Amino acid sequence: MIETPGLLPTENLFPIFVDAMFTKNFLLIMFLGLCSYVGLTTNSDTSKGMSMAVTFVMTMSAILTWPIYHYLLSPASIIGKDLTFLRTICFILIIASFVQLVEFIIRRFSPPLYKSLGIYLPLIATNCAVLGVVLMNIQEGYTYGASIIYAFAAGLGYSWVMLATAALREKLIMRNVDLFSGFIGAFFAATMVALIIVSYFSMVKL
């Protein structure tokens, strides 16, 4: 019998946080959301906007999808039928409609923010990092609290890698290192940043 995980976190939150931010970083270790990473890190302003938008959408979709999965789709839910095969389709619909809603709200209440985030918001609906976060939450069987923390930390992990790479690439492009303006440069920069994480956390055991 499958039991629904509780609402309040019973897990140790520190390892979850560090995992999502560093050791299982979404961009560099799990390879999720690379399209935006390669495309947007040539400029630190756009990557800042994208990071903020992704972190927000990730946290909000974790808040929305956890109850839907555990109270409607899972066999332990109030319906009592195994509807877990519908999870992918449900999550993608929830994320897409939520992104649409966020777009309307931001456009209505904060035009300057909309202007800076505007073009990235629709992109987030098909960003695999967001779908990845909600699927990981289900797969790991986190409680509600832990899943929100995990999603927020994953967003922070996404952000710092975006900003670090953008800083690296922007500087190199400014120095006319031509290689770093294209896709190839993005991957070389990613290699450097990923090596830092992997080698640091292979020495430092938490």
Partner 1 sequence: MAKKSFVGEIIRGIIKDNPVFVLVLGLCPVLAVSTSFANALGMAMAFTFVMLGSNIFVSLLRKQIPPGVRIPIFILIICTFVTMIDMMLEAFLPPMYEALGIFVPLIVVNCIVIGRAEAFANRNPVLPSIADGIGISIGFAAALILLGTIREILGTGALKLMMLWSKEGELGFYPLSDIPGFSFVPNPITFPIEPATVMVTPPGAFLTIAALMLLFKIMSDRKRMKQLRKEGYEI
What is the contact surface with partner 1 in residues (CB under 8 A)?
28-35, 38, 85-89, 92, 96, 126-128, 131-132, 135-136, 139, 183-184, 187-188, 190-191, 194-195, 198
Closest CA to 33 of 135, 126, 99: 126
Sequence letter at residue 138: I
109 vs 183, which CB is nearer to partner 1? 183
| Residues 51, 11: Cα–Cα separation, whole Å | 27
Q: What is the closest distance, in whole angstroms, from the C-beta atom of residue 158 to partner 1 in the complex?
A: 13
Task: Name the E strands within the chain.
Answer: none
Nearest approach, Cβ of 12 to partner 1 (angstroms)? 23
The burial class, CB within 10 Å (0-12 / 13-18 / 19+), for 180 is: buried
Q: In whole angstroms, give the CA distance from residue 20 to residue 157.
A: 6
Nearer to partner 1, 8 or 89 (CB): 89
Least distance to partner 1 from the beta carbon of 85, Å? 6
In the complex with partner 1, which residue's Cβ is closer, 88 or 110? 88
Q: How far is the CB of 32 from partner 1 (least distance, A)?
A: 6
